[in-house]
Amino acid sequence: MSTSPWDHLLLEATLATFVGDEPYGLIADGAIALSNGHIAWVGHRSELPPDAVDRAAKVERLGGALVTPGLIDCHTHLVFGGHRAHEFDLRLNGASYEAIAHAGGGIVSTVKATRAASEDELLAQSLPRARALLADGVTTLEIKSGYGLELESERRMLRVARRIGETLGITVRTTFLGLHALPPEYKERRDAYVALVCEQMLPALAAEGLVDAVDAFCENIGFTHEETRRVFDCAKALGLPVKLHAEQLSDLDGSALVAEYDGLSADHLEYLSDTGIRAMAAKGTVAVLLPGAFYALRETKLPPIAGLREHGTAMAIATDCNPGTSPLLSLRMAAGMACTLFRLTPEEALRGITVNAARALGMHDRGTLAIGQHADLVVWRVGTPAELCYWIGGELVRAVYRAGRPVSID
In the complex, minimum distance from the CB of residue 53 to ligand NIG, in angstroms, rounded to a whole number: 48
What's the DSSP call for residue 186? G
In the complex, minimum distance from the CB of residue 380 to Fe ion, in angstroms, rounded to a whole number: 27
The reply to whether 219 sits near Fe ion by the rule CB under 5 A is no
Determine the Cα–Cα distance for residues 17 and 10; give it in Å rounded to an integer: 14
The reply to whether 228 sits near ligand NIG by the rule CB under 6 A is no
Q: Which stretch binds Fe ion (CB under 5 A): 51-59, 104-112, 146-154, 312-320?
A: 312-320
The reply to whether 105 sits near ligand NIG by the rule CB under 6 A is no
**H-helix or E-strand spanning residue 116:** helix 107-116
In the complex, minimum distance from the CB of residue 299 to ligand NIG, in angstroms, rounded to a whole number: 11
Q: Which of 35, 140, 248, 354 binds ligand NIG (CB under 6 A)?
A: 248
Q: How far apart are the first and last CA of the chain?
A: 40
**318-337 positions binding Fe ion, by CB under 5 A:** 320
Determine the Cα–Cα distance for residues 343 and 349; give it in Å rounded to an integer: 9
CB 377 within 8 Å of CB 32: yes
Determine the Cα–Cα distance for residues 367 and 374; give it in Å rounded to an integer: 9
Sequence-distant (≥ 6) Cβ neighbours of residue 208 within 8 angstroms: 155
In the complex, minimum distance from the CB of residue 267 to ligand NIG, in angstroms, rounded to a whole number: 7
CB 350 within 8 Å of CB 105: no
Q: Which of 107, 231, 259, 315 binds ligand NIG (CB under 6 A)?
A: 107
Determine the Cα–Cα distance for residues 319 and 352; give it in Å rounded to an integer: 11
The reply to whether 325 sits near ligand NIG by the rule CB under 6 A is yes
Sequence-distant (≥ 6) Cβ neighbours of residue 55 within 8 angstroms: 3, 4, 5, 6, 9, 33, 49
In the complex, minimum distance from the CB of residue 160 to Fe ion, in angstroms, rounded to a whole number: 17
Which CB sits closer to ligand NIG, 322 or 373? 322
For 221, other C-beta atoms within 10 Å of its C-beta total 16
Q: Tell me the one-letter amino acid at 126.
A: S
**251-290 positions binding ligand NIG, by CB under 6 A:** none
Q: Which of 30, 70, 105, 106 binds ligand NIG (CB under 6 A)?
A: 106
In the complex, minimum distance from the CB of residue 131 to ligand NIG, in angstroms, rounded to a whole number: 21
Q: Which residues bind ligand NIG (CB under 6 A)?
A: 77, 106-107, 110, 217, 245, 248, 293, 320, 322-326
Q: Which residues bind Fe ion (CB under 5 A)?
A: 320
